[in-house]
Amino acid sequence: MGEKPVINKGLEGIYVAETKLSYIDGENSRLYYVGYSIEDLAKYSTYEEVAFLLYYYRLPTKSEYELFKAVMRESREVPDEVLSIVRNMVRRRAHPMDILRTAVSSLSALDPEIDQRSREADIRKALRILSKAPSIIAAMYRFSRGLDYIEPRNDLDHAANLIYMMHGKKPSEFEAKVLDTIFILHAEHGMNASTFASLVTASTLADIYAAVVSGISALKGPLHGGAAEAAYWQYKEIGSPDNVEAWVKNALDKKRRIMGMGHRVYKSYDPRAKIMKELDREVASKFGGEAAQLYSIATKLEEVALRELSKRGKVTIQPNVDFYTPIAYTALGIPPELFTTIFAASRIVGWTAKVIEYVENNRLIRPLDYYIGELDKKYVPLDQR
């Protein structure tokens, strides 16, 4: 056992890889994908273009972009075998993240290139998973309401098609842009827990489906992917902007966490939250109703929570991306139980791009643990215990 080593609990502060995919400057509220600021990408780009950027480390030319989008569109169909699995799991009231995980896992059985291990083959497989994930989410939405599955539409972009497959109606340009922005904001984010889970799996040279299934599994937990849904229920619990003052004081006195605030890396305002907040202002004024109500509660909550947290010396706890996404999701008719699945569907590009990057210089991820139990214990046979 030797002298007790330093235990890096939670691997905090440990670098495990080099990357050119994303850079988070947590002190200065900055996020970049391949050197491009998240603000520019959210404003000018699309999720499909961001996916290309993350796989190829550059923006596509017009013809590359069209071809890439066409490949994604052609991969949207989900085989009947997988839709049956989704239908059965919905009937059993399984958690949507478990359904997504199982559906992606079952898709591996139907991928003719499952055993091909080249960068290009991995990108092709990743694109298939990426393109089918929204169809799986829409299927969950439809089946859980006793509705029939709607086939994907090949004349719509990635985000617009998801809204269409859920509601059977082509979304407006603004609605499509709102969801596309959410997809862009969640596409990639450094070495977080689910990305690391994907990398651990991929570092054994397991296939890319296995890596994505690991990512989805890790994202399910409330400390990682589940915060937007928790933020939604928090706003519902608060009920009205008038209740915010009392609610915050009571929550902080009871050491409750404000969902959608605080971040392991951002010690200032999460730039994604800023983008979402601006978008939500427009969403609230265009849609009114529940989205506007949630927006007024969230903005008031931000103001009061920042003031009260700062009184308690906690100035680094500020809104993260999950604070403002519930408003946009609600406006788009996306129910809270599906929020995390949309995060997962967006992040598939980040998980797979990082896995593809990592295995090019692969090193099996194999940390150590320090044994603190006893040794040389006497084995007592079962009938003598």
By the criterion CB under 6 A, which residues form the site for ligand COA? Answer: 223, 227, 257-264, 314, 317, 320, 322
- Name the minimum Å distance from CB 217 to ligand COA: 17
Which residue lies nearer to ligand COA by CB, 180 or 302? 302
Q: What is the CA radius of gyration of the chain?
A: 22
- Name the minimum Å distance from CB 224 to ligand COA: 7
Is 322 known to be catalytic?
Answer: yes
Cα–Cα distance measured from residue 382 to residue 385, given in angstroms and rounded to the nearest whole number: 5
Runs of H (alpha helix) within 190-288? 193-203, 208-219, 227-238, 244-253, 271-287
- Name the minimum Å distance from CB 108 to ligand COA: 29
- Name the minimum Å distance from CB 10 to ligand COA: 9
Which of these is catalytic: 322, 369, 376, 383?
322
Structure tokens that stand for 69 in this block: 């989008």
- Give the three-class secondary structure for 32: strand
Which residue lies nearer to ligand COA by CB, 264 or 363? 264
Which residue lies nearer to ligand COA by CB, 60 or 260? 260
Cβ atoms within 10 Å, residue 167: 18
Which residue lies nearer to ligand COA by CB, 175 or 302? 302
Cα–Cα distance measured from residue 162 to residue 349, given in angstroms and rounded to the nearest whole number: 16
| Phi, psi (deg, nearest 5) at residue 146 | 70, 20
Question: Nearest to residue 174, comparing CAs of 320, 293, 287, 254?
Answer: 287
Cα–Cα distance measured from residue 206 to residue 222, given in angstroms and rounded to the nearest whole number: 27
Structure tokens that stand for 271 in this block: 């730039």
Query: Please, are residues 199 and 16 in contact by the beta-carbon 8 Å criterion?
Result: yes
Residue nearest to ligand COA (CB): 262
- Give the three-class secondary structure for 36: strand
Which residue lies nearer to ligand COA by CB, 227 or 297? 227
Is 369 known to be catalytic?
Answer: no
Which residue lies nearer to ligand COA by CB, 224 or 286? 224
Question: Tokens 């829409």 correspond to what residue?
Answer: 138
- Name the minimum Å distance from CB 237 to ligand COA: 15
Question: Which letter does DSSP use for residue 109 in this model?
Answer: G
- Name the minimum Å distance from CB 276 to ligand COA: 12
Helix or strand run (H / E) with residue 222: none
Which of these is catalytic: 122, 207, 263, 270?
263
Query: Please, are residues 359 and 203 in contact by the beta-carbon 8 Å criterion?
Result: yes
Q: Which residues are catalytic?
A: 263, 322
